[in-house]
Amino acid sequence: MNDAPDEPDSVDAGTPDGPDGPDGPDGPDGSDGPEAVPTTIEEKVVAVLQDIYDPEIPVNIYELGLIYEIDVREDDRVVVQMTLTSPHCPVAESLPAEVRTRICKIPEVSDCEIDLVWEPQWGPDRMSDVAKLKLGML
């Protein structure tokens, strides 16, 4: 008979008792921190989108809420459903083309399709808290 207490077979790295210390692999605020490296195609697409800015608003298009869906297909083709702040936006022609060009530069992406939609209509409620904070809305 073994009197030693039962020990778990594995430890979840995201728990306080995990191997990455008291905060797990994430920082104390729950973010991946500046050291996080995107590994999946979707994470790489998000990283690219976070580097594209609306020229009239100092917030990237991802945090601004212009990206509605990112679909990575089995053949590594990426389909992005996005909108603009207005159909009359001055970058209505160039911004979707820039998004496509930048995503196509990701080595793992075989092709990219941009589906520009107007429904649901974009509004400030689609912005992330990060965007709202940058714009003084929080």
Q: Is residue 18 part of a domain?
A: no
Per residue in 93-105, pLDDT (tens digit) is 899 999 999 999 9
- pTM score above 0.95: no
The answer to whether residue 34 sits within a structural domain is: no
Domain CATH for 50: 3.30.300.130
Q: Is residue 128 part of a domain?
A: yes
Within 10 angstroms of residue 136's Cβ, the number of other Cβ atoms is: 6
How many other C-beta atoms can be found within 10 angstroms of the C-beta atom of residue 1? 2
pLDDT at 8: 37
Mean pLDDT in the chain? Answer: 81
How many domains is the chain partitioned into structurally? 1
Range of the domain at 98: 41-134
> Does residue 15 form part of some domain?
no
pLDDT given at position 29: 42
